[in-house]
Every structure is written in structure tokens, then in C-alpha cells.
Amino acid sequence: MKEIHHLRRMTTVWVIASVIVDLLFWFLVGPHVPPGRMTNMASSDQFDFNILFVIAIPVLIGVWIYLGYTIVVWSAKRGGPEPVGGEAARTNRTAQVAWIAITSVVVLFLAGFGTVELMVNNGSGGGEGPNPVWSPAGAAKAETAALAGTGTWSPNSGQVLPVQVIGQQWKFTYRYPTFGGFETSQLILPDNTTIAFNVTSLDVTHSFWAYQLGVKADANPLINDVAYTATTQRGEFVVRCSELCGIWHGAMYNYGHVVSPQAFMTWAQQTEAANAANTKLLPAFAWTYVPDANGAAGGYYPDGTVTPYSRAEVYGAKQPVS
């Protein structure tokens, strides 16, 4: 019987199919892959997604072709020669070494690629905790000034805009420290601006997920979780809580808007004025606040004292370092 080059057949089909599908994916699907291109983080996330897809597709196709070939060609129903056992069928040095080498190379490349993308993109929009390892230029300065109450932001100045996200059961509210520290339930951001989200919680763990911005950071009580992004497109985005936080977790979402820097400035100044009466009653701006663990009616811990929403001075040590 004529020797059939099974592997050569499969490899040929695999290469052709992979190239076609990869190209189709890259050009047809790639530009639409979430989370879109609304910010630099979203764009880089999309790029990473596409790179991973382009690597994953040949892997999937390769195994599928092999399985399909197996089912069609090596099925007992279709007859064919008896399989051969013995030592040759048990091990094949070339195949094993090649397999291990190829998977190792792919995996190490992916880990390296992911690390580079993580560093270059300043944490890729993920929550970096109170002391970010990777920050965009000017972020530390803006954050320090914001805490001191001396922060400023003006359109087209290239300044980083710090925004505080406060999770509570069951809604996110936002404070703008560069505009007198007013608090609102609207999230409006200027276009073409680097944003430093400072995420914290007043009760249980939430997760601030601004889907189109490519930002996700857990909100923990007494912890300031910092995530960066830079807006590049105007429009609406959705914010959802992505860490189970109780009964209304599913309803904990709101819509934010990226608007022109001038429109943002107008909105911020108007809201600052409109909320002035309430802002006076808020605690001074801080990265974290000590919630009252016992609630209004009192009582999980009997020794607790009521400490309503106050500035957590003791957390000074955990503020982002400048």
C-alpha cells in the first residue's frame, strides 16, 4: 500500500486555512472587537485581543483539522490498515520535543508580549492599587495636587484629570477633586485627556467597569485602587459593577459621556456651583473614607462607634507617591 503523508496533508490544509481565517479575522472582525477604540486603553486592549485571536485561531484550526482528519480517515468503520503498536507507537522523540518547544515558545512570547503591553500602557486600565507601578506622565503630580486641594484642570492643557469613583451599595458616585471636590452621580469626562480613576468603596467590594474606556478596578473599602486611561473619542459609555455586591448588583450601572474639553469645563463649573451647598457638607476630599461598619441602625459589632463618611487621615501613607 502506498504510504500516505498524513501530516503533510494536514499541514498544508492547516497553513492555508489559518492564513485565510487569520486575515479575514484581522480585517473584518478585528476593528469591531471589544472594547472598541474610545480610549488609548481600549485601543490597546483591542490590539491585544486581536493578537491573541490571531495566535489562537491557528491553534484551534490545527487541532480541529487533526480531529476531523482522525474521524474521517482513521475510523475503524472505514477499514484501513491495522494500527501498529510497539515502541515506535509509544514515543517519538521528534514529535515530543517539537511539541514542547513550540508550546513553550508561544507561551513565553505571550507572557512577554502581555508584560510589555501592560507596562507600556500604564497598567492597561486595570486597577493598580494605591501605589501604581506604571503611571502616565503627570499623573502623580496631578494626584498629589488633588489631594492637597490645589489641583487644577483646564481644557487642552495636557493635565491629568483625577476622578474619584465611590462604590456603595448599589450605585457609583463620582467626585471631581480639581473642581472643589463636588460629588455627583454623573460621570462626564473630557476628550483627549488622561484620566486617573481613583476607585474606592464605602461598604463591600464592588468593581468599577467602564466597558468602552477599557477600565476595570475593584472598589474596596479603605483602599484606593488607581486605574488610568486617556480618552480619544467622544460618546456614551456604560459603567457596570462587575463584582457581586448584593441584591442590586445587576442594577448597579450608569452611563457616562466623553464630551469636548470645553463642554466638560462648562459642565464641571456649573455642577460645582449647583452642588456647592452639598459639597460643603461632604468630608474633605480624600482617597479613602472610613465608613461606619455598623450602619445607621447600628449593630454588627457591638463596640463600634458611628463614624460617618469621614476622611481617612490614617491612609495618608497609602496615597499614591509623587
**Interacting positions 173-212 with other proteins (CB under 8 A):** 173, 183-186, 199, 202-205, 207, 209, 211
Q: Are 296 and 227 in contact (CB under 8 A)?
A: no
Of 8, 6, 48, residue with least CA distance to 30 = 48
Is residue 297 a contact point for other proteins (CB under 8 A)? yes
Is residue 235 a contact point for other proteins (CB under 8 A)? no
Out of 139, 193, 290, 319, the residue judged to bind other proteins by CB under 8 A: 290
Query: Quick one: 153 or 249, whose CB is closer to other proteins?
Result: 249
Q: Are 199 and 167 in contact (CB under 8 A)?
A: yes
Within 136-165, the residues that bind other proteins by CB under 8 A are: none
Question: Of 32-40, 138-146, 154-162, 262-270, which part binds other proteins (CB under 8 A)?
Answer: 32-40
Smallest distance, other proteins to C-beta of residue 268, A: 16
Rounded to an integer, what distance in angstroms lies between the CA atom of residue 177 and that of residue 284? 10
Is residue 2 a contact point for other proteins (CB under 8 A)? no
Is residue 28 a contact point for other proteins (CB under 8 A)? no
Please give the C-alpha separations between residue 9 and each of 15, 98, 293, in angstroms, as whole numbers.
Answer: 10, 18, 67
Smallest distance, other proteins to C-beta of residue 144, A: 19
Query: In Å, how far from its chain's centre is CA 110?
Result: 18
Residues 193-214, buried b or exposed e (16+ Cβ, 10 A)? Answer: bbbbbbbbbbbbebbbbbbbbb
Out of 19, 23, 74, 322, the residue judged to bind other proteins by CB under 8 A: 74
Is residue 168 a contact point for other proteins (CB under 8 A)? yes
Q: Are 227 and 125 in contact (CB under 8 A)?
A: yes
